[in-house]
Amino acid sequence: MGITKLMLSAAISLSGILPASCHKTAPEAAKTPVAPSSINLATNNVLSVMHVLGNLTLTNHCETRVHLSEGKDCFVTPKLLDKRNVQITFAVQTRTKTGQIHDLAVAQVVTMDGQPLEVAVGSYNFTMTPQIAPE
């Protein structure tokens, strides 16, 4: 009986040490903002365009327009869910030369304020870090 208690106490104390001795820390991401740019990506014979928006300052419930190309715009609308979480709606519109909406693609994501994200909307991919400004 004494040996089993000794073995049990040794196993418990060793199991508490193992998680503390094996941990990883990720290197901190660079704090410098990335300049907006676009990159063409070919995936499964479909051409998609990657837009790097960098740090994008948004205001709660206010739409922000990002011009993509002639007749193509992305409207980004944030909605704060609580102190840190935000729901962001991306709407990519394509307009004809007369100003009529030709195509519309919409996507919503829920993320944390200040956390980098990547989202695909239609044939466009966006990467950004949202910064929600007070109203």
Q: Give me the tens of pLDDT residue by residue for the chain, a chain 135 residues long.
A: 566 665 555 555 555 554 444 444 444 443 333 334 444 444 444 456 788 989 999 999 999 999 998 899 999 999 999 988 999 999 999 999 998 999 999 999 999 999 999 999 988 999 999 999 877
- Identify the pLDDT of residue 1: 54
Q: Is residue 61 part of a domain?
A: yes
Dihedral sign for Cα atoms in the order 36, 42, 43, 46:
positive
Tell me which residue range forms the domain holding 93. 37-133
Q: Is residue 114 part of a domain?
A: yes
Q: Is residue 13 part of a domain?
A: no
Q: Is residue 27 part of a domain?
A: no
Q: How many domains does the chain have?
A: 1
Q: How far apart are the first and last CA of the chain?
A: 68
Can you tell me the distance from the alpha carbon of 112 to that of 71, in angstroms, rounded to the nearest whole number?
31
Can you tell me the distance from the alpha carbon of 70 to that of 78, in angstroms, rounded to the nearest whole number?
24
- pTM for the predicted model, two decimal places: 0.64
- Identify the pLDDT of residue 38: 46
